[in-house]
Amino acid sequence: METRYDLNKNLAQMLKGGVIMDVTNEEEAIIAEKAGACAVMALERVPSDIRRDGGVARMSDPKMIKNIQQAVSIPVMAKVRIGHFVEAQILEAIEIDYIDESEVLTPADNVYHIDKRKFKVPFVCGARNLGEALRRIGEGAAMIRTKGEAGTGDVVEAVKHMRTVTSEMKKIASMDEEELMNAAKELFAPYELVKYVHEHKKLPVVNFAAGGIATPADAALMMQLGCDGVFVGSGIFKSGNPQKRAEAIVKAVTYYNDPVMLAELSEDLGEAMSGISVQSLEENNRLADRGW
Amino acid sequence: MKIGVLAMQGAFMEHINALKKLDVEAMSIRDEKDFDMIDGLIIPGGESTAIGKLLTVFNLKEKLQNKIEQGLPVWGTCAGMIILAKKIAGLDITHIPVMDVEVVRNAYGRQLGSFAVNEEIRGIKNGPFPMVFIRAPYIKQVGGNVSILAEVNGKIVAAREKNMLVTSFHPELTGDLRMHQFFINMIKEKNQF
């Protein structure tokens, strides 16, 4: 019989091939839904504004999230700080569809992530490599995303994280069984999950791209690298024509293998978000290094 | 026999994998030209607004409607059921309005309302079927030519009208292949493979 965790992994499967968009109010949520988003992430400030403003970034006002739940019929996600299980309890109380335990907000715990198995609602977590992904799944995450480098409009980190996970999975898949315990030790990952990857040659949950995706080409790139779908944060509503860009990214995720189509839908999108190159970021401004 | 799975958005690979286990050729479908290559079509689970939007912008709705009206066997799971319904409760819009059912979207609420049960389905032998409901719809009302195949707590969750089959739940997530076999048999009846 299906457990609550199975049902939560199943919801992520329904989001595949889709785009999850950051929205900060009802109007943006409606634009996202009309553009074909498969879910929205409700938050008070998109990552590029959080980066600009500095200070402590926390869970959004539940009222703002509830207004967005009222405005759209697609799943609504929201972020909590790493380790802040009470913020997660609050989001569960308002029946959020997915919680993102996110490095984009200021971490509340420098050591522990949330014990996500204690919750009925599902969690998605960011990962830079296979070990990190399997640790989060071990804690109960029902979906994984690349961390990328949120709020930059620079896709380079998302690419790095996806390529790292893929190449580490290939390595595990090609190992002999007696090598797996040592691999688990080196990855700091639960043995049973390493064994799962060895047997199935994939993660036990859906894996999306996130962090720095700003164009239809970026989205298609992540899909061709093997992601199941795409989160777009600041990339849409910080661009010149959010509606058109949102629609183009949705189409690009469906037709990610069709360069003629991608050329067509990349035309005339107006200005992309201006962005910051990740290389130019000082180390203490790198969000991906939050969490372990 | 070749079955296409509509690959706009959602869980299309899960259906393709289930069909492959039954030794049926299965392909993901995104282009109009592919519609003529298939003997049956599955519209998978996902978000019906996203799938509907993509069908609209790529002008696929009318072509699909014609194919289904000409007899192409089609099976909609969850979002796919919403796509095929002639009426969606509380909304003025429809997507490919071919099947005489009125459906309620997100009828069990948000993700906390998602659930699984084992229930009998008419036409499916060897005991109850594992039904997985993910932010699922149900059927509120059916027209005269629609046969009801399954109900859960008094709500209709599976139905058939001629060449059209719909389920609120997701057989492709369970490993139980009997519903897929049922759909394959529908195609066989029509085409005498």
Q: What is the pLDDT of residue A1?
A: 67
Taking an 8 Å cut-off on Cβ atoms, the answer to whether A17 and B111 are in contact is no
Beta bridge partners of A40: A21, A76
Mean pLDDT for the stretch of residues B56-79: 96
pLDDT exceeds cutoff 80 at A93: yes
Instruction: Look over chain A and give the mean of its residue pLDDT values, rounded to a whole number.
Output: 96
Scored b (16 or more CB within 10 A) or e, A213-246 reads bbbbbbbbbbbebebbbbbbbbbbbbbeebebbb
What lies within 8 Å, CB to CB, of A193 at 6+ separation is A134, A137, A138, A204
Structure tokens, B152: 């859960």
Q: What is the pLDDT of residue A271?
A: 87
Structure tokens, A85: 């299980």
Residue A258: exposure state from Cβ atoms within 10 A (0-12, 13-18, ≥19): middle
Q: Which residues of B touch A69 (CB under 8 A)?
A: 110
The verdict on B93 touching A (C-beta cutoff 8 Å) is no
> What stretches of chain B show up as alpha helix (H) in DSSP?
12-21, 48-57, 61-69, 79-84, 178-191
Q: What is the pLDDT of residue B192?
A: 61
Q: What is the ipTM of this complex?
A: 0.95
d(C-alpha B141, C-alpha B163), whole Å: 19
Taking an 8 Å cut-off on Cβ atoms, the answer to whether A16 and B13 are in contact is yes
Residues of A annotated as catalytic (active site), given as ranges: 79
The residue in chain A having the minimum alpha-carbon distance to the alpha carbon of residue B174 is A2
Closest CA to A15 of A219, A208, A152: A208
pLDDT exceeds cutoff 70 at B139: yes
CB A145, CB A125: distance < 8 Å: yes
d(C-alpha A131, C-alpha B116), whole Å: 31
What lies within 8 Å, CB to CB, of A190 at 6+ separation is A134, A135, A137, A138, A184
Mean pLDDT for the stretch of residues B62-69: 96
Three-state secondary-structure class, residue B89:
coil
Q: What is the pLDDT of residue A82?
A: 97
Rounded to the nearest angstrom, the minimum Cα separation between B58 and chain A is 9
> Which of B49, B112, B134 shows the shortest C-beta gap to A33?
B49
Which amino acid does the sequence have at A126?
G
Q: What is the pLDDT of residue A279?
A: 87
d(C-alpha B70, C-alpha A276), whole Å: 54
Residues of B annotated as catalytic (active site), given as ranges: 78, 170, 172
> Which of B45, B54, B109 shows the shortest C-beta gap to A254?
B54
Condensed to tens digits (0 to 9), the pLDDT of residues A193-217 reads 999 999 999 999 999 999 999 999 9
Question: What Rg do the C-alpha atoms of chain A give, in angstroms?
Answer: 18
- Angle between helix axes A130-138 and A191-200 (nearest 10 degrees) is 120
Taking an 8 Å cut-off on Cβ atoms, the answer to whether B9 and A17 are in contact is yes
Condensed to tens digits (0 to 9), the pLDDT of residues A235-290 reads 999 899 999 999 999 999 999 999 999 999 999 999 888 888 988 888 888 898 89
pLDDT band at residue A23, thresholds of 50, 70 and 90?
Answer: very high
Q: What is the pLDDT of residue B193?
A: 57
Q: Is the four-CA dihedral A137, A140, A145, A150 of positive or negative sign?
A: negative
The residue in chain B having the minimum alpha-carbon distance to the alpha carbon of residue A16 is B10
Beta bridge partners of B152: B155
